[in-house]
Amino acid sequence: MSKGIGEEFKTSPYRRYKNDLEAGTSSREIDEEEDEGSGPFDIVRTKNAPLDRLRRWRQAALVLNPARRFRYTLDLKKEEERKQMIAKIRMNAQVIRAAVLFQAACEGVNEPGVSKKLPSNQGHVDDFDVSLDELVSMSREHNLSLLEQHGGVKGVADKVKSNLEKGVSGDETDLINRKQAFGSNTYPRKKGCSFWWFLWEACQDTSLIILMATAAASLALGIKSKGIKEGWEGGGSIALAVLKVIVVTAVIDYLKSRKFQNLNEEKQNIHMEVVRGGRRIKISIFDIVVGDIVPLKIGDQVPADGVLNAGHSLAIDMSSMTGESKIVHKNSRAPFLMSGCKVADGYGTMLVTSVGMNTEWGLLMASISEDNGEETPLQVRLNGVATFIGIVGLVVAEVVLVFLLIRYFTGKTCDPDGRTQFRAGYTSVRDAMDGFIKIFTVAVTIVVVAVPEGLPLAVTVTLAYSMEKMMADKVLVRRLSACETMGSATTICSDKTGTLTLNQMTVVDVFACGKKIEPADNKSLLPPNVMSLLLEGISQNTSGSICVPEGSNVLEISGSPTEKAILQWGVNLGMDFDAVRSKSLIIHAFPFNSEKKRGGVALKLSDSEFHVHWKGAAEIVLASCTYYMDSNGSMAQMEEDKVSYFKKAIEDMAAGSLRCVAIAYRSYEKEMVPSNEVEMENWQLPEEDLILLAIVGIKDPCRPGVRNAVQLCIDAGVKVRMVTGDNLQTAKAIAVECGILGSNGDATEPNLIEGKAFRAMSETQRLEVADRISVMGRSSPDDKLLLVQALRKKGHVVAVTGDGVNDAPALHEADIGLAMGIQGTEVAKESSDIIILDDNFATVAKVVRWGRSVYANIQKFIPYKLTVNVVALTINVVAAVSAGNVPLNAVQLLWVNLIMDTLGALALATEPPTDHLMHRPPVGRREPLITNVMWRNLIIQALYQVTVLLILNFQGRSILNLEHESDDRAFKVKNTVIFNAFFLCQIFNELNARKPDEINVWKGVTKNLLFMGTVGLTVVLQVIIIFFYGKFTSTVRLSWDLWLVSIVIGIISWPLAIVGKLIPVPERPLFDFLRRKYVK
């Protein structure tokens, strides 16, 4: 066991919980309680679901068009091909490097006096002194000898006309020249599918293919028997109806695909800092050019191939390229950096030498297909519903087919004029075949209507719509299922800094020389030697920087908000950043670590004196201090009273919601400093006997509106917890200000707990207290992970926010990982499901709202869709069995299927979220998909429609006063009224479906232009069909009074829905009630 833990921490901190591309989707098994006894369509958590479970539900699904149904799910076949391709490219890269090393060994490159001739200078561009081939060869082969012969990093920078301090000039002409000479940092992407591809895919529907075949047969028979003028109508109308379905389906799928494609491009557009013209600016990763100087810090992605310019403790996770999760340390002996890798530790700067397709990462990305598909839990469950309904539909279709064929061939089927359609020995084979084809067409059409292909696809419609709208709310969804799962979230574990606060930090309190410095930048109270040491520590022990742009006197400070605040304080004290840094040299660094909560540097001064500076969490650094600098600038013993004084100062600042940071140093003997590079790399900076220089209190105000956002979540049944690395008192003060804690009286353990206290508990104890925790201070990444795991085991659906590389395990483990877009590292973003682009907690609350909207919209569509299915199947089956003919023919059913499967889904699945959604509890992941309210609404509408339409079918001639009409005319008018009334019932029921549990179904309808446009379009098309396209649909023009009858039948569904909503329903799910009754 000890070996396992040790080995884990030798690898990248986020790789421990994230799997390699070749290793499959996840090594973590689905929770036993989720998997035990579950059916193929019961996958409550598709995040990290094993591939065999994904295969199982697809194999169990009844599908008419697999290509369309599974388009936005993970392509399991392509996933296998992708892994194989990645393995081949990785192996190829390893072989090339091995061959170069072998060749170098054979030629004695490393022997004294032996030199290798530089490659030919052919291919040099006029403006540059090195060719593209030379740079690519050096980077790809990691050829250190070639780098040295070019003059090292400085020589390469000179040859590509770059400056290691100021970078490239950055003017447009220079950037264009570099792209022409060395390529751009892009790779060819597979173009999105054209409209014709979607058209072809829509044609793959099995039932539509059968209908086209029957239409062709009917067309041939009709033309042969009646001539082309009259004979084309039967088969031709079916063919045109099928064509209309195909075209409309393809158009909607194409538009939906374009939305997903635009969102995917946004996900890949990483922004990084580069140094251009002496300034640090943020640019798109695609705009990086050869010669750029790129600062790297923990969590960043290496944006291109390059060589290390300067760095401290820089460790790179090469797993994305090599497949191995071991960390590789970079230094002057191993300076080559590969595009696509991640910075696991340390910081530094790199010189870009190869970009785009000239890197192995570019080749890799261009060679594999980007499959962003994945199933969502709702999608899987809806496939189960669709399969069940489809099986029922198939059975019904078979029953109808058998009954109609028996009636037809036994001479019991009559035409509208009362003539028997088939008489044995008299009816020709051609007429008999024509009759058989018509009956078969009706049966197939019932299957088309019964199998609700649009039900699972409605999820992708609402997700595509929601994801696009969420972008306007500063939310970028990386995983489809997260958008949906967020609606079920029961708790949010949020960071403090930058999420609940503004991340705009300023130093407001300072304690130094044994007293409080007021104001904070009053340098007259600081002795000269203390000031010198402070400025030395501030300028050198930082990952930030200060520069003065050319032509400007305004200082530009870069770095993390905490670093910027301390650097600004240094500037206020009179610090000349470059001048102070020039007086000493960093020989070793320990970058800030979220576990140790401090960072340090070792400095060599010009007179060979050595200093070690530390900066970090105030109480932790203070505990390592044995001395402090007094008001005279002399070193004084840290007596007990002084320790108490500084601790009290820290507590007071923390109670005022300030972040407390201590700055300390110590001198170090020259003899104790490692003398060679290998020893230096493994040197542990001394942490004891420090001299306290200052403790600063940094103010980071709460975000405006964050209290309202927290309260909104609480009202919605979502508990907000703060998990922060800050001091417990600081965390408590911010939590009270934000409304996470009601008052200081709530701040008792375990409501308020330190990470180490939670970590020290047994698993049983953690499970007991996890629910009660509201604030966790001084938490390490492992504490956050333990809390997430405990909450999930307690049955919570957990959302976690994070921005650092060490947040990656918790982001990956959570049901929904929310990374910050501004301060978040690339590692955190890659481990997340959703990116909050403005780092604002109020936006997290909006994500909850949108997640609930996705679920609510699907629940609106389900009863609407099922009502149409039940009514269409019932009236056709009853009519077929009793009368031998069906009132709704194939073309009419195809039209109704089109409006409910595509246009209906478009109208209902794109309803914007309402405030009403945030005043109900979260939707449980195991709650029934069809609630009792939905069953009530469905049964009422279906009973009404079936009753009215069957009465019209059997008594319509007398009710509609058609006795004086001919049999044929009366039959057509009656069936047209049934068709028209059936259609209008669905239109009015579509409005009812908008508000399943509200009386006022018109509320907010005018704000949803897409809904109004879709409904309006379908009504206009219906009017056109009735008035002008009767030959295609076998309908006739209706008089205005019959139109009024149809409208009244449809409009009655409104008051009926109001009455239905007054009927109370039990809270216990219907199927649960029936199951318990059955068991008893």
Catalytic residue list: 495
Would you put residue 895 in left (φ > 0), alpha (ψ -120 to 50) or beta? alpha
**Integer Cα distance of 248 and 245 in angstroms:** 5
Please report which residue ranges of 817-887 form alpha helices under DSSP H.
826-831, 841-883
CB 949 within 8 A of CB 1014: no
Q: Cβ(933)–Cβ(920) under 8 Å?
A: no
Residue position matching structure tokens 């004294």: 112
From the number of C-beta atoms within 10 Å of its C-beta (0-12, 13-18, 19+), residue 607 rates as exposed
Residue 170 DSSP label: -
Structure letter (DSSP) for residue 836: E
Sign of CA dihedral 751, 756, 758, 761: negative
**Largest separation between any pair of C-alpha atoms in the chain:** 125
Please, which residues have CB within 8 angstroms of residue 508's CB and are 6 or more apart in sequence? 520, 658, 697, 698, 699
The whole-angstrom separation of Cα 214 and Cα 210 is 6
Residue 532, classified by CB atoms within 10 Å of its CB into exposed (0-12), middle (13-18) or buried (19+), is: middle
How far apart (Å, rounded) are the C-alpha atoms in residues 370 and 265?
11
Distance CA 468, CA 231 (A): 48
> Which residues, including other chains, have CB under 8 Å from residue 428's CB and lie 6 or more apart?
none
User: Could you give the 3-state DSSP secondary structure of residue 777?
Assistant: strand
Q: Which two tokens stand for residue 436?
A: 């058989």
How many CB atoms are closer than 10 A to CB 213? 13
> How far, in Å, CA of 785 to CA of 48, rounded?
17
**Bridge partners, residue 577, by sequence:** none
Contact (Cβ atoms closer than 8 angstroms) between residue 1031 and residue 237 = yes
d(Cα 251, Cα 167) in Å, to the nearest integer? 48
Q: Per DSSP, what are the bridge partners of residue 950?
A: none
Helices (H) and strands (E) in the chain, counts: 41, 26
Question: Residue 816: left if φ>0, alpha if ψ -120 to 50, beta else—which one?
Answer: beta
- 1044: exposed, middle or buried (Cβ count in 10 Å: 0-12, 13-18, 19+): exposed
CA proximity to 639, closest of 525, 526, 514, 533 = 514
Torsion over CA: 83, 86, 90, 95 (sign): positive
Tell which residue, 490, 680, 551, 692, has the closest CA to residue 604. 680
CB of 806 within 8 A of CB of 345?
A: no
First to last CA, the chain: 49
Q: Three-state DSSP class for 253?
A: helix
Q: How far apart, in whole angstroms, are the C-alpha atoms of residue 1054 and residue 998? A: 12
Judge whether 463 and 483 are in contact, CB under 8 Å: yes
Q: What is the DSSP letter of 702?
A: B
For residue 905, which of 940, 943, 945, 865 has the smallest C-alpha distance? Answer: 865
Query: Radius of gyration over alpha carbons of the chain, in Å?
Result: 36
At residue 168, the 3 state secondary structure works out as strand
Q: What residues have CB less than 8 Å from 746, skipping those under 6 apart?
A: 752, 774
